[in-house]
Every structure is written in C-alpha cells, then in structure tokens.
C-alpha cells in the first residue's frame, strides 16, 4: 500500500477510522447534545479561541464560501489578496456575490507582504472585510497572518478578518483569539486527518454579530449552524459518525498538545527540505508555508518524478492550474506525513 503524502486528502489514521465505525447515536437526544458540547470544546482548543465554533457539511471551498456569504453582501468593499488557486477562488466567489472587490495579486509562489497589504487595505474606502488565505495549498506559501492581523487591527479596527485556514489550523501555529481574527475555516481532510465531508468555523463576537440572519433553509448561511450550536445541536441531520472521527482527531491533538503537533509539521518540512536541497532540488516560490512543500528537481520532469515515486510507494500531488506539470507537492500535515515518512521518501528520491 502506497503512503499518501498529498496535501489533502490526508491519510486517515486507524484511531480515526475506528471512531467513525462506532454505532450511530440518535441526534435529538441529551447524549448527542453532551457529545456536541465536547466537540465544541475540542474545536475551541484547536482554533485557540474562547468564542464561537460550529461545523457544517461540505468541503473547505464550501466552508470559505459560506463564511463569505454569511459575513458580506452585495456592494460590500472587500479585499482579497490573490496569490494562488485557492485565494483566486475567493476572488471569483466575491465577484459572483457582487462584492465591491479589491484584489492584491501576486505571482504564484509569492505571498503579499505585510506592508503592501496594509497600504492596499488603507486605500479602500469603507472597507468592510478582508479574506486572507493563510496557507496557499496550491503553491505551499503562507502569509504572515499574525503580523497582517496585527497591523490591520491597529489601522482599521472594525474591518472583518476572514481567514481560509483550511490547510493551516492543526498544522502550523494559529491563535484565533490572540490574533484577533473574526472568522476562520478549517476542513476535515487536512490536518484534522479525517475523511472529507465536514468543515469547522470559528467566529469572534464581532464576526458573529456581522453574520446575516436568514431563513433556516438557507444552508449556506452560517447563522443557522451557530444558532443551533449554541444549544449543542445541528440544523440538519448531523453527520454523527464524521463528528466521531473529528472528536478522535481533536483528542489526539489535545493529547499531544498543539505545540507538539505544530512542531511535527515543522520537523517534517525541515527534514524534507534539507534533503531536497542536498539532492539538487528546488523549493517552489518563497516556501514560507510548512503545511506542505511545493518543489521540483531540475532535469526531471515533474510528471515523471511523480510516476517514479508512485511506483516506489509514495503518492504526491502535482501542480494545479498554471503549475500543472511544473511542480510536485508533498504534505507535512498529520502523523502519517511526519519525519519518518520524509526519511523514507528521501531514499526514494535519491535512488
């Protein structure tokens, strides 16, 4: 069996698979409410927040779009830095929503600097919100979220700060409350090492106040999920077994402690990158993110290298969009993609 080292979907450890196989519990019961309450506590630890958390069914993309849909409305001035496939998706969705959109476009492989971000934000009249992609899974780069949030909050305290944390929360340092964020979205199939199918969202008090209330049948609007979560409940039939899997992952993360989990990502990235550079490989772009590494090996076509590694038992991702055929991407998220896997991968690349 090949090792899955793609930056999402990530491999599901056996303790998660076993949790998902537990018998389903009826969801309009005190037992479910107690369970949901515990899950919220686990999610608060994960996001490092004392504020609001909820879950919904869907992919990471659906989660970020739901957050944008819930916080903003047609005509709102919103800034979306665009530096890869996923951040560009939020630009496209903002256009679809009819937002008064400003972008800050960087070449793929680069990320916006704190200074240019602040300058841009300060020059937008009546700026309502910002959508920041913490880690661009398409290029491997990460923004300096802590600094960006800090300068934005000082200059424009009321601007809503929405973070695509799909491949950062649970993988690299993330402090929702300390960084004074308003909304952050993470997906189940990345550092939470679960099957795809659910997303989890944190809201500050300010963020939650900004969420538009709509009809209960508006499944994209997070108001309903937050409202039910207050009562430890869920607006639709909840995916109970998927929540079991998330609880198992949260238990694992809490048991190890976030600093140890973040350090595992760091060690995996460091090990791989040192090995890569020694083998004459090149890290794509600025390489500021540690959730994954995008790379190439000069003289070897990316598709060929991917096929060779697959034959040796390692599944990596190729490039997306304009990077198709130009790079490979390897995940450093979760226990399966740790240092040990990187050491094994090294042997495969060297030979």
Rounded to a whole number of angstroms, the minimum distance from the CB of residue 120 to its own copies is 24
Question: Per the structure block, which two tokens stand in for 105?
Answer: 């476009």
Q: Please tell me the distance from the alpha carbon of residue 92 to that of residue 81, in angstroms, as a whole number.
A: 12
CB of 2 to its own copies, least distance (A): 9
163 Cα distance to chain centroid: 9
CA 65/CA 99 separation, integer angstroms = 13
Which tokens sit at 271? 């090990």
Q: In the 3-class helix/strand/coil scheme, how is 228-287 assigned residue by residue? A: HHHCCCCCCCCCHHHHHHHHHHHHHHHHHCHHHHHHHHHHHHHHHHHHHHHCCCEECCCC
Report the site for its own copies in 220-249 (rule: CB under 8 A). 220, 236-242
Dig out the tokens for 186 from the structure: 């993470």
CA distance 296 to 271: 16
**Which is nearer to its own copies, 61 or 105 (by Cβ)?**
61
157 binds its own copies (CB under 8 A): no
Residue in 126, 157, 215, 255 binding its own copies, rule: CB under 8 A = 215
96-115: which residues touch its own copies (CB under 8 A)? 96
Binding piece for its own copies, criterion CB under 8 A, among 47-55, 92-100, 171-179, 283-291: 92-100
Instruction: Enter the DSSP assignment of 217.
Output: T
- Residues between 34 and 53 that touch its own copies (CB under 8 A): none
Nearer to its own copies, 204 or 224 (CB): 224
Residues 183-212 that bind its own copies (CB under 8 A): 187, 189, 195-198
Indicate the SS3 state at residue 165. Answer: coil
Q: Confirm if 315 and 4 have CB atoms less than 8 A apart.
A: yes
In this chain, which of 36, 93, 225, 314 binds its own copies, going by CB under 8 A? 93
- Shortest distance, position 54 Cβ to its own copies, whole Å: 15
Among left, alpha and beta (phi > 0; psi -120 to 50; other), residue 136 is beta
Rule CB under 8 A: choose which of 43, 65, 253, 334 binds its own copies.
Answer: 65
- Per the DSSP assignment, residues forming a β-bridge with 149 are none
Report if residue 345 touches its own copies, rule: CB under 8 A.
Answer: no
Contact residues: its own copies, CB under 8 A: 1, 4, 6, 8-12, 14, 17-18, 20-21, 23-24, 26-27, 57-62, 65, 89, 92-93, 96, 187, 189, 195-198, 215, 217-220, 236-242, 315, 317
């Amino acid at each position: 069996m090949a090792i899955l080292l793609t930056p999402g979907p990530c491999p599901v450890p056996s303790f998660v698979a076993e949790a998902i196989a537990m018998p389903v519990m009826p969801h309009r019961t005190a037992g479910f409410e107690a369970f949901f309450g515990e899950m919220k506590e686990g999610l608060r630890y994960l996001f490092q927040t004392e504020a609001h958390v909820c879950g919904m069914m869907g992919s990471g993309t659906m989660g970020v779009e739901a957050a944008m849909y819930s916080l903003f409305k047609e005509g709102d001035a919103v800034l979306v830095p665009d530096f890869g496939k996923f951040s560009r998706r939020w630009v496209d969705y903002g256009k679809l929503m009819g937002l008064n959109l400003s972008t800050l476009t960087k070449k793929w492989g680069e990320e916006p600097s704190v200074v240019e971000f602040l300058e841009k934000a300060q020059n937008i009249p009546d700026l309502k919100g910002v959508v920041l992609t913490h880690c661009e899974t398409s290029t491997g780069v990460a923004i300096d979220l802590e600094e960006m949030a800090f300068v934005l909050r000082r200059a424009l305290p009321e601007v809503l700060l929405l973070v695509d944390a799909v491949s950062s929360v649970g993988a690299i340092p993330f402090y929702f409350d300390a960084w004074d964020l308003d909304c952050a979205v993470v997906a189940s199939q990345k550092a939470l090492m679960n099957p795809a199918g659910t997303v989890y969202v944190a809201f500050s008090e300010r963020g939650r106040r900004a969420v538009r209330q709509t009809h209960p049948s508006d499944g994209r609007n997070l108001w309903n999920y937050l409202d039910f979560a207050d009562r430890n409940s869920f607006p639709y039939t909840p995916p109970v077994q998927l929540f079991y899997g998330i609880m198992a992952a949260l238990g694992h993360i809490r048991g190890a402690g976030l600093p140890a989990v973040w350090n595992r990502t760091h060690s995996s990235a460091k090990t791989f990158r040192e090995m890569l550079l020694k083998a004459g490989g090149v890290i794509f772009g600025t390489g500021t993110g540690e959730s994954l590494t995008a790379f190439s090996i000069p003289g070897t076509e990316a598709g060929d290298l991917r096929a060779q590694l697959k034959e040796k038992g390692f599944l990596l991702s190729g490039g997306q969009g304009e990077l198709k055929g130009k790079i490979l991407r390897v995940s450093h998220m979760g226990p399966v993609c740790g240092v040990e896997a990187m050491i094994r991968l090294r042997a495969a690349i060297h030979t």
